[in-house]
Amino acid sequence: MATNFPGPFQVRIFYTANSRQHVQRLDCDMDIEGDPGQSFIYWTPNNNGASPILTLEEAVDAWVALMQPAFKTTDEISRAELWKYADASNDAAYQSVYTLGVNGTSASPNVLNGEQIFTFRSSNGGSKRIHFFDGIQPWGATQAWPFSTTWAYNIGEYVVGGDGWFVARDNGRLFAPLNFLPGSNEHWFKDYYR
């Protein structure tokens, strides 16, 4: 089996939920590459076929708007960083930052040590997981697509829709939502209780 690496680019979304900082890592590729240090408006990620193609700033804004209902109003999504990976490696070089400074929109309480995992199938046969930590989603049974939780459904629909700009580690485009798994994260559970 071939080894799959992150990238070729990765957007890292930094957010604080339940008073703990987390980083969401989203692999993508670029249609237009800016220069290191240039703002997100000079970068354009490839998408799933929508036209016009959004700048990276617009793409991140659209994604963060979908993240907000998953978090309490006191949780903050602070910034996004762009990193570029060397071919077939785990070595990444910082490219740019985009300050967000937005809060969640839910009045529901955080679920301590909660983790929500989304799984998707890629066009190259692999899969991709996207994680949310310490949000408002209660633990529950795995949901197959179409997801019954509204904010989760919106995430699934966006990722595989025309504006979706994500790739799996096999560099395939994401085309099919598989499962939404609302549960607990063992690392955070141990960190809190032990």
For 16-29, letters b (16+ CB in 10 Å) and e give bbbebebebebbbe
Average pLDDT, the chain: 94
| Domains in the chain: boundaries | 9-193
Local confidence band at 151 (pLDDT 50, 70, 90 cut-offs): very high
Token pair recorded at residue 142: 């795995």
Local confidence band at 185 (pLDDT 50, 70, 90 cut-offs): confident
* Residue 2: burial class (beta carbons within 10 Å; 0-12, 13-18, 19+): exposed
Q: How many angstroms separate the first and last alpha carbons of the chain?
A: 38
Identify the helix (H) or strand (E) that includes residue 97: strand 92-103
- Does the pTM exceed 0.85? yes
Residue 141: what pLDDT?
A: 95
Reported as half-sphere exposure (CB side, CA atoms, 13 A), residue 149 has a value of 22
Task: Strand 174-184: give its sheet, edge to edge.
Answer: 127-133, 114-122, 174-184, 143-144
State the chain's maximal CA–CA distance in angstroms: 50
Q: Which amino acid is at 128?
A: K
Residue 188: what pLDDT?
A: 61
pLDDT, mean of residues 7-30:
97
